[in-house]
Amino acid sequence: MSTAATNQASTTTKRDPVFDELDFPSDPNNLYTQTVATMLEAADHIDIRHRVKIILAQPKNEIMVHFPVRMDDGHHRLFKGYRVQHNNACGPYKGGIRFHEDVHLDDVKALAFLMTMKCSLVRVPYGGGKGGIKCNPRELSPGELERVSRRFMSAISTMIGPDYDIPAPDVGTNAQVMAWFADTYMMSQESGNSNDGLRVVTGKPVQMGGSLGREKATGQGVVDVLVEMLPEEGIPVEGMRVSVLGFGNVGSWAARILQDLGAKVVATMDHTGAIRNDEGLDCHALAEHCVKTGGVKGFGASTGSGGSTAKGAEAISTEDFYRTPVDVFIPGALEQMIKEEQAAMLDCKVVAEAANAPTTPAGDRLLSERGIEVLPAILCNAGGVTVSYFEWVQNKQCMYWDEERVDRELNRHMVMAARRTMLARSRYQTNMRLASYIAALEHIANVYEVRGIFP
């Protein structure tokens, strides 16, 4: 996730005067600058107050910590971690924590900003935050991973809280890491093991206060958006062809749920390789294969659940993956992977952005010129934070929902967010990305209008 390359979202290259007022660096390829540029472009459509623009253009707090961890061989390694609290006008800061070697402050700021927009669009009462540790979790032993997680939580525990800032999983972290975070946070509080501390993170294991349906929630949300919006594109979900970039939490769940609805997931690619089957991959068996082997590579030889032989798959090149003809392409890996080069290769009608900021502005422009509809990330991947909110509510009430209720409430939130976006698009005659920002900004601007600015 390097800031050096290119960037998400904005369809314009003009520099907004707000950047000069706030003394932003002039690097147009910086991910944070680009996400703010998209917000300012959207704000122009709705004549939002200047004070709201400048507040949203900068995060409220940027926390950086360095902390030593004892490694298995006895030596100590110093790690760098971040927590960015972008905005809390609509509720506590909320957003994932990522373990990845390419974590940089400006990227974390951009992701925190996107969380503010996303929570507002889907109308969950949260603001936006994001965090990360610069490390490769695949290179850490289970013991080292636990010590890194606990030491980071200990370093930031006075700056977060169940009603102030609530982390969650992201790339490279999972329910187990959330369990260590929650336990460490609770141990650091005067009230000790008080149940209230559980709410400090979401995405926990179900046996420790997690919500049913949280693990698949982001993928489920992507599918809910597609089911709501594809009729407008004249694409029936049953029988449609799909390719998925990234087969981790978000990509694999979106693929599995789409397959269950009758779609054919014909190609996928992750960090280990790319595979294709024109008859449709068995995504459930593929997900099991990934758990066992660490990636999609070599899937053809695996066996599916119940011992049945999984449908085979042919290994393909990266270029063949992008060129595979599909109705819907789902980028669900990392930021900034769909540059101009990839956008030129894509053979699809719709791009559903499951990852955060997967498309660079140049990629975005080319997709638009080619008549490919882009369903924006702050809409498509809002399912995760929505069910995180449900988890937080359940923890608060000490009353737990069945999965059917979680799915039903999630669907309601996703459908309403999709409709808000479509309404803004037709009202302001913009593309879908700007429409989603407008729908989010209108809500935040209304909140600032009634709250006012202290003092």
Q: Which residues bind ligand NAD (CB under 6 A)?
A: 169-172, 218, 246-251, 269-271, 295, 332-334, 354-356, 381, 384
Give me the least distance between CB of 195 and ligand NAD, in Å please.
Answer: 24
Residue closer to ligand NAD (CB basis): 293 or 309 = 293
Residue 77 to residues 74, 98, 144, Cα–Cα distance (Å) = 10, 19, 10
Surface-to-core class of residue 203, CB atoms within 10 Å of its CB (0-12 exposed, 13-18 middle, 19+ buried): buried
Residue closer to ligand NAD (CB basis): 24 or 321 = 321
Give me the least distance between CB of 212 and ligand NAD, in Å please.
Answer: 15
Question: 36: which 2 tokens?
Answer: 């703010």
Cα–Cα distance for residue pair 257/253, rounded to 1 Å: 6
Residue closer to ligand NAD (CB basis): 52 or 168 = 168
Residue closer to ligand NAD (CB basis): 45 or 413 = 413
Main-chain phi, psi angles of 276, to 5 degrees: -145, 145
Instruction: Please state the separation of Cα 79 from the chain's center in Å.
Output: 24
Give me the least distance between CB of 15 and ligand NAD, in Å please.
Answer: 27
Residue 283 to residues 137, 221, 287, 446, Cα–Cα distance (Å) = 25, 17, 6, 43
Give me the least distance between CB of 44 and ligand NAD, in Å please.
Answer: 27
Residue closer to ligand NAD (CB basis): 33 or 202 = 202
**349 in active site:** no
- Beta strand 350-352 with 328-331 is parallel
Q: Which of 258, 381, 383, 415 is nearest to 326 (CA)?
A: 258
Cα–Cα distance for residue pair 63/281, rounded to 1 Å: 43
Give me the least distance between CB of 384 and ligand NAD, in Å please.
Answer: 3
- Beta strand 273-276 with 264-270 is antiparallel
94, 130, 264, 339: which one is catalytic?
130
- Other beta carbons within 10 angstroms of residue 15's beta carbon come to 14
Surface-to-core class of residue 155, CB atoms within 10 Å of its CB (0-12 exposed, 13-18 middle, 19+ buried): middle
Residue closer to ligand NAD (CB basis): 209 or 251 = 251
Give me the least distance between CB of 148 and ligand NAD, in Å please.
Answer: 16
Alpha helices in 337-382 (DSSP H): 340-345, 361-369, 377-380
Q: Residue 264: CB partners within 8 Å, gap ≥ 6?
A: 239, 240, 241, 242, 279, 280
- Catalytic residues, which ones? 130
